[in-house]
A = this chain, B = another copy of it.
Amino acid sequence: MSEPLILYEYAPSGNCYKIRLTAALLGLPLARRHYDIMRGETRTPDFLAHVNANGRIPVLQIGERFLPESNAACFWLATGSALIPDDRFDRADMLRWMFWEQYNHEPNIATLRFWLAFVGEAALTDAQRGQIAGKRAAGEAALDLMAAELDRRDWLVGATPSLADICLFAYTHVADAGGFDLGGWPAILRWIDRVKALPGYIPITD
């Protein structure tokens, strides 16, 4: 690994934490640059022109190149490691969970955490407030789906941890901040303990 790696991030974001956790599990050093999304620091002309035209963190800088999207950055970091299965079906199935995370899990579980624990319910727009009940139900359905799978197996894909586990762990283990009581999904709590026991594990607060 010769190219320096720099993570452009807002540290409490689960999407940023995924990348730090993947790098930590793989023993890869990562420099970090903080941007305060609450103050619009990823929407400045400089950020849009040089880091990410989409105005979002995280972005992983690899040498001179920039890679947005948390799950893509994890994929780059883990290429060639045991966190990405060699088997053709299992690799696609890992990506299945990662796409599902971005479509069915993150927009509900992460968004409610952001709205309720970071923005604050009183500061939400009417359009946001009107979506809370739908996101609550969809987030609970996402946790049900994960729990049904984790009731049968230790890890989401194959017999060992993969990026599917790391990427879903990020927002699942802090879902209580969005009002989800994980006590209702004991299979998820046991899986969280397994992830936390992985060699190299770091918490989201690191």
Contact = CB atoms under 8 A, between A and B. Distances in A.
A27 B42 CA distance: 43
Contacts of A103: 69, 102-103, 106-107
A99 B72 contact: yes
B93 A67 contact: yes
Please classify the interface of chain A as helix (H, G, I), strand (E, B), loop, or mixed, using the class held by over half of its residues: helix
A107 B134 CA distance: 15
Contact of A92 (B73, B92, B126): B73
B67 A96 contact: yes
A88 B73 CA distance: 11
Interface string A28-71: 00000000000000000000000001100000001001011111
Interface residues of A, number: 36
A103 B72 CA distance: 13
A130 B134 contact: no
Interface of A: 53-54, 62, 65, 67-73, 75-76, 79, 88-89, 91-93, 95-96, 98-100, 102-104, 106-107, 126-127, 130-131, 134, 145, 148
Sorted from nearest, which 5 A-B pairs have the closest CB atoms?
A: A76-B92, A72-B96, A69-B99, A69-B96, A72-B95
